[in-house]
Amino acid sequence: MSAELTAVLGVGQTKYSATRGDVSIAGLCREAACRALEDAHLGWKEIDAVVIGTAPDFFEGVMMPELYLAEALGAVGKPILRVHTAGSVGGSTALVAASLIQSRVHEKVLTIGFEKQSESNATWALSLPQPFSVSINAGAGGYFSPIIRQYMSRSGAPELIGCMVAFKDRQHALKNPYAHLHQNDLTFEEVVDSPMLWNPIRYSETCPSSDGACAMVLGNEVSGDRAENPVAWVHGTAMRSESNNFPGRDEVNPLASRQCAADVFRQAGITNPLKEIDAVEIYVPFSWYEPMWLESLGFAEIDHGWRMVEDGTTSLSGGKLPVNCSGGVLSSNPIGASGMIRFAEAALQVRGMAGDHQVDGAKKSFGHAYGGGAQYFSMWIVGAEKP
């Protein structure tokens, strides 16, 4: 028996910002959930189950948020699940929700990813001392900087490619009213002149710390057919993982990433991603990860991804493969939501509802998230038409 066709019926986001001091975590999630329900023209009673995801408990110090959030998210008397796969969690949360529809367990599922970074300190929550090694790593940037250095070394990419990605994504963000960073007067020179934090990563090439939540309502084929607004149909879903340190590991292009991409493209019947995908939302918390993932995912040849940045292929302004039209993680990073934002923005593109950052006539789009030490991967492909 084949899987039930699954559709994105509604998307809801909060305005991403450094501090949402006016709401609790529950209030933040409820805001995104209400918007997703309004977009789907559904009420709380019509939801069968709720699937939420957020970053490690250490970040905000809220243990088991699924217990605390059940009432605010209308989950009393219904199943509520919490998913956890580090930074990729927003993506894998959406995929767990989708699997509840695909398996015909439920007909309509609400899924939410969230983070309130203003109530946490993610960098130091990721730098906990371990008794058997020296305490020397400074947060995610400290971990990813050597991998970026390795990519630069092996690809021979010009030094300012990362700055070009950062500048491009901040330009895209100006077209997205939900984006955290709206730097109207930012110049490329300012991006380049920004201080080094984790050489070769500049401050301007890192993601901000954001508060925010993103929600989606997913439904089965009948719900998709009956929806008032356009829906996005799920064409493929895949997740993979691997250890972060083993002999022969390719840290720049992890095996799990390649396997995950191969699986999701096979499900969607896509053999030439660059030609067949119209819009891409990939998880780029540090600028250089745009060319690195374009290569790993098969949109570019190995060691040539940076050329797509340099020649403007990935820009919304006339590029052949616009990447992160929303401004991406580099412009908004509520960590637990960031993956789901990628998936939701991919859905908005094929629904034709992305507003000023819409890719004209987008029919198929790609959503991506990764987490841990580039260990967890989740991906989906959504289309305007049924698969």
Crossing angle (nearest 10°) for helices 161-173 and 289-296:
100
Report the residue from 8, 28, 31, 279 that binds other proteins according to the rule CB under 8 A. 31
The distance from CA 147 to its chain's CA centroid, rounded to whole angstroms, is 20
- Report the residue number, 225 or 356, with the smaller CB distance to other proteins: 356
Tell me how far apart the alpha carbons of residues 353 and 350 are, in angstroms, rounded to a whole number: 8
Q: For every residue of 75-133, which 3-state class applies, written as one string?
A: CCCCCEEEECECECHHHHHHHHHHHHHHCCCCCEEEEEEEEEHHHCCHHHHCCCCCCCC
Selected binder of other proteins within 3, 82, 84, 137 (CB under 8 A)? 137
- 343, 367 Cβ separation under 8 angstroms: yes
Answer for which of 67, 76, 196, 222 binds other proteins (CB under 8 A) is 196
Among 220-228, 245-253, 276-284, 319-327, which window interacts with other proteins (CB under 8 A)?
A: 245-253
Contact string 3-22 vs other proteins (x = CB under 8 A) = ---------xxxx-----x-
And the tokens for 287?
């600028």
CB atoms within 10 A of CB 104: 11
Q: List the beta bridge partners of residue 236.
A: 381
Stretch that binds other proteins, among 161-169, 247-255, 278-286, 379-387 (CB under 8 A): 247-255
Q: Is 263 in the site for other proteins (CB under 8 A)?
A: no
187 or 199: CB nearest other proteins: 199
Respond yes or no on whether the N-terminal peptide bond of residue 79 is cis (omega within 30° of 0).
no
Q: Out of 79, 146, 269, 361, which residue is the one contacting other proteins (CB under 8 A)? A: 146
- Shortest reach from residue 298's CB to other proteins, in Å: 16
Q: Kind and range of the H or E element at 237?
A: strand 232-241
Q: Nearest distance from residue 197's CB to other proteins, in Å?
A: 5
Q: List interacting residues with other proteins (CB under 8 A).
A: 12-15, 21, 30-31, 34-35, 37-38, 61, 118-119, 123-124, 127, 129, 131-139, 141-142, 145-147, 149-150, 153-154, 177-178, 195-199, 243, 245-251, 255, 353, 355
